[in-house]
Amino acid sequence: MRTKIVSRRNRRFDIIAVGELLVDLISSEFADNLLEVKDFKRLQGGSPANLSMNMARLGNKVKLIATVGQDDMGEYLFQCVDQMAIDCSQLNRIDLPTSLILVTRSKEVSNFEAYRAADYQISDAQLSPQMLRECTIFHTTCFGLSKEPARSAILAAAAFTAREGGQLAIDVNYAQKIWPNQQQAQDVLEEYCGHGALVKVSEVDWMRLQGKELQDGKEVIEHFLSLGAKEVCLTLGAKGCLLANQQDSFFLSAREIQVKDTTGAGHANRAGYLTAWLDGASLEERAMAGRKMAELKLAHFGPLPAKVPKADLYADLKGF
């Protein structure tokens, strides 16, 4: 039997996720663009929120920090996350409209259009030092960092968390229509990654961030490791994913499944990976756990069930 690393679950919260909680209006049918769409299905969305939901489904101790409006959609989102085992005590409600995104249902890359107001109104008051000392992982996204005042609040909290021995993580979900200043985005990512972050970036994210086609996955890995990231996970859609740190690297191919919904698959993959990281799994095992969770999401339209047994996550692994 494999020798497991000691679990990293030694603080009150396994993860604190900070950033966007918003409404996804996803096309009922597959579509290439929003002009073709006639009907939408309302779902809770936002990368940190989706990650929080998936981490909670796997039994992790989760806190979500976000801001929504004092409106019906804000109440809808609050009810969505509150019904899960997530600490929502720093979910702020303000007098601005709740942010929403129109999204095409797709078997590959979704098209979207964002209508933002409340989501980036995240303040220092939501990120107290005592709370940050109580988290193992502090996670955010490019979407969350794309606007002030959220950007400054998140960067300050991330630096503090790293000084206090917490582990930073980030989803590089960059899109120019969300963050038009590409150079600023790259500068902020350099600052955040410099604290030793666990980075997740997709092939599409990289193309958007760099403004060029992906030629070699190793280039992506080397870029983020050179910025100071501790570990990088590059997801390559139907091809699989590449994980690497300064000591090791591992490529894991994707498996063929019947795809029902690609929306949120990256968040599911990340939840599987981070759960395995918290459990002390190896690099290869983290990749396999991420793949398994993504497969569960791809085969399911809309959010996953309220609980996903951790045994399902580790079904392909020996020793768990």
Q: Which residue has the tokens 């993504």?
A: 294
**In this structure, what DSSP letter does residue 195 have?**
T
Cα distance between residue 220 and residue 27, in whole Å: 32
One-letter amino acid identity for 133? R
Greatest Cα pair distance, the chain, in angstroms, is: 55
Cα distance between residue 20 and residue 141, in whole Å: 8
> Which two three-digit tokens encode residue 305?
């069930």
Number of H helices, E strands in the chain: 11, 14
Model-level pTM? 0.93
- Cα 70–Cα 117–Cα 15 angle in degrees, nearest 5: 80
Q: How many C-beta neighbours within 10 Å does residue 301 have?
A: 15
Give every CB contact of residue 134 below 8 A, 6+ residues apart in sequence: 11, 12, 13
Q: How many C-beta neighbours within 10 Å does residue 262 have?
A: 18
Cα distance between residue 144 and residue 48, in whole Å: 9
One-letter amino acid identity for 166? G
> Which two three-digit tokens encode residue 156?
């300050």
Q: Which helix (H) or strand (E) holds 42?
A: strand 40-45
The answer to whether 104 and 111 have CB atoms below 8 angstroms apart is yes
For 164, counting Cβ atoms within 10 Å of its Cβ (0-12 exposed, 13-18 middle, 19+ buried), the class is: middle
User: Mean pLDDT per 10-residue run, the chain (320 residues)?
Assistant: 68 98 92 91 92 95 98 96 94 98 81 95 98 98 98 98 98 95 97 98 93 91 98 91 93 87 81 96 93 88 80 79
Q: Which CATH number fits domain 13-313: 3.40.1190.20, 3.40.50.300, 3.40.50.970, 3.30.2290.10?
A: 3.40.1190.20
> Which two three-digit tokens encode residue 275?
């759960």
- How many CA atoms within 13 Å lie on the side-chain side of 124? 5
One-letter amino acid identity for 49? A
Does the N-terminal peptide bond of residue 149 adopt cis geometry, omega within 30 degrees of 0? yes
The pLDDT score that the predictor gives to residue 1 is 40
Q: Residue ranges of the domains in the chain?
A: 13-313
Torsion angle in degrees (nearest 10) through CA of 286, 287, 292, 297: 100
Cα distance between residue 304 and residue 77, in whole Å: 16
